[in-house]
Amino acid sequence: MRVKRSRADLAAYGGRPAFDEPLHVGRPYLGDRQRLLEHLAAVLDSGWVTNNGPQVRALEERLAARLDVRHCVAVCNGTAALQLCARALGLVGEVILPSFTFVATAHALTWEGLTPVFADIDRDTHTIDPARVAALATQRSGALVGVHLWGRPCDTEALETIARERGMRLIFDAAHAFGCTHRDRPIGGFGDAEVFSFHATKVFHTLEGGAVATNDAALADRIRLMRNHGIAGIDQVAGLGINAKMSELSATVGLMLLEQVDEVIALNRRNHAHYRRALAGIEGVRLLEYDERQRSNRQFVVIEVDAAAAGVARDVLVDVLRAENVLARRYFYPGCHRVEPYRSDAVIRVLPETDHVAGRVVCLPTGPAVGEEDIDVIAQIIRVVSSDPPAR
């Protein structure tokens, strides 16, 4: 049984690491390994391992039902989902999106020849600020991408109003939001389409994979065509496309894990509640909370560190945690607008709220591999370090 750590115990002060094995942010959950291997073996034995097989079709059907949308198109990853969506919608020109997101969101659009225009975020929610979007919209703005961050939906209503009034297409990046709701509606059916990542680090995954969810039948048909080289029949090429298909093996993993995702979300909720109790009273450390009226997957435990109040800089705290085998992450530092190729653009975006949040955020380990005793130790490390930071 692990015990709470004192200053002398911690590796940062000359002791041993608090954990023998690393605790990861986003550690993949695979469920019952033997059952998974049996399902994968059955697919291999069938000889149908790719090319829109029965496992992919079954997964699409079940996902569409869960997301309460008419169409769900499974693809090889979330990046491809966004690229296919952008191309199928015929996007050109500029696309407004938050800088505080994984760089893949901006890269996917840039790769399609679009120009990202970064909008600032709301300091409290960490999601895109509709007021900043409205101020940035011009005749060159062809689309808007809202990002549901940390399992928290962005302001869909305000963004839908802006997109409708300005004649812009609206896509939501829902990579963090599988299993979440907004105003009692599942994330998945907002805007022209929502794109999901099913990367292994997500609360629901297919090892690698993604999907586009939409209620637009014509859009779904175009994406299905594009994901398979534009091939409409056995030997009929109907248009331009790429290879973005999901394999039968990935879909099999997804079908099995879909049965267990609600259990994983329940564990995440338990962990988040325990972090709230364990971190209470630590000066300068704020746990990002969720709206209890809506369902969140609680995939991320996010804290903000106010260095002046906490007595320790955010980056020092991250270094100490990692020395203790707590592999905390400073998502999404420093913001897309401060990495290449975007920081070299002629137009320098001033995003004070993004800079503020990016300089404070730390994501802590959660998921089925993290127990309440682990959380107590992590909180105690933060408590000790904030009261007596190591020399640097």
Domain 33-258 falls in which CATH fold? Aspartate Aminotransferase; domain 2 (3.40.640)
Give burial (CB, 10 Å; 0-12/13-18/19+) of 124.
Answer: exposed
User: Taking Cα atoms as reference points, which of 171, 180, 156, 255 lies closest to residue 216?
Assistant: 171
Give burial (CB, 10 Å; 0-12/13-18/19+) of 281.
Answer: exposed
Cα 239 to its chain centre, rounded Å, is 32
User: Taking Cα atoms as reference points, which of 222, 170, 161 lies closest to residue 191?
Assistant: 170
Model confidence, pTM: 0.94
Q: Give CATH for domain 261-328+365-387.
A: 3.90.1150.10
Q: Where are the domains of the chain?
A: 33-258, 261-328+365-387
Per-residue pLDDT of the chain (392 residues; tens, 9 = 90+): 355 567 777 887 778 899 999 999 999 999 999 999 999 999 999 999 999 999 999 999 999 999 999 999 999 999 999 999 999 999 999 999 999 999 999 999 999 999 999 999 999 999 999 999 999 999 999 999 999 999 999 999 999 999 999 999 999 999 999 999 999 999 999 999 999 999 999 999 999 999 999 999 999 999 999 999 999 988 899 999 999 999 999 999 999 999 999 999 999 999 999 999 999 999 999 999 998 888 999 999 999 999 999 999 999 999 999 999 999 999 999 999 999 999 887 556 789 999 999 999 999 999 999 999 999 999 999 999 987 777 66
Q: 261-328+365-387: same fold as 33-258?
A: no
